[in-house]
Amino acid sequence: MAAIASEVKVPLPDGKTLDASLALPDTTGTHPGVVVLHEAFGLNDDIRRICRRLASEGYVALAPDLYSHGNRGLCLTRVMVDSWTSAGRQTLDDIEAARAALAERPEVDLERIAVLGFCQGGGFALAFAVQGSVRAAGVNYGAVPKDRDKLVGICPVVASYGGRDRIMGSHGERLERYLTDLGVPHDVKTYPGVGHSFLSQHENWITRLPNPMATGYSEPEAEDAWTRILAFFAEHLKAP
């Protein structure tokens, strides 16, 4: 199945808009949808690639640029602070606006929407999944709160972490424990041979330098994670 990609605007309650990338399957009818949340590097070509991959699997994928709500520098700072403090109210509101815009599209079954996030976006995906407006959440090397009760009410979660990631790798064990305690359907896996961002194919200065997160793409683990994500979404977003 091929993907049809375009750049769109997501309307916000304050009259502003978010830039976003949209990818559609090239088939007719309604499809499940996925809100894709970017890493700290923002909405780049790798996130657009991920949207196209989801579309090729039969999903309508929408990736909002969380740094485009007003002045880019101020937005970047706010979103970074949100991710570090877990405050995140405006960022979560922007993600909800993206979800609502996705749900309003005629190609999307509004009852079958998931969220999928990477790194910073993985933490936001986890936080957003508690709000009850999505059926499943994909969390890739995202931050997990220390307080288990912050995950009460969360939807089913599929998550992937890198064991060589000395900053975020241990969060996978925490997430597994919390979701088990809460009785939430989940699939959490830590890959011992890779570090952070092993699903991301873009290169930047961080990937070229030694760092405690052992950042870098690894195809075998990335493809295994994709197989798990797609199987989990297929299970939890299936049509009635």
Q: What is the mean pLDDT of residues 91-98?
A: 94
What is the per-residue pLDDT across 32-43, written as a single tens digit (0 to 9) for each?
999 999 998 899
The Cα 56–Cα 108 span in angstroms is 15
**CATH number of the domain bearing residue 40:** 3.40.50.1820
Alpha-carbon distance values, 139 to 14, 86, 240 (Å): 29, 15, 25
Asked if residue 91 has pLDDT above 60, the reply is: yes
Q: Are 115 and 103 in contact (CB under 8 A)?
A: no
- Model confidence, pTM: 0.92
What residues make up the domain containing 171?
3-236
Residues in the chain: 240
Q: Side chain identity at 99, as an amino acid letter?
A: R
The whole-number average pLDDT for the span 47-54 is 97
In this predicted structure, the answer to whether residue 82 has a pLDDT above a threshold of 60 is: no
Residue 59, pLDDT > 90, answer yes
124 alpha-carbon distance from chain centroid: 7
| Number of independent structural domains in the chain | 1
- Using the predicted structure, report yes or no on whether residue 77 has a pLDDT greater than 50: no
Half-sphere exposure at residue 75, Cβ-oriented, CA atoms within 13 angstroms? 18
Whether 201 and 49 have beta carbons less than 8 Å apart is answered as yes
Question: Tokens 């509004």 appear where?
Answer: 110
CB 176 within 8 A of CB 151: no
Confidence class for position 86, pLDDT limits 50, 70, 90: low
What pLDDT, on the 0 to 100 scale, is given for residue 84?
A: 47
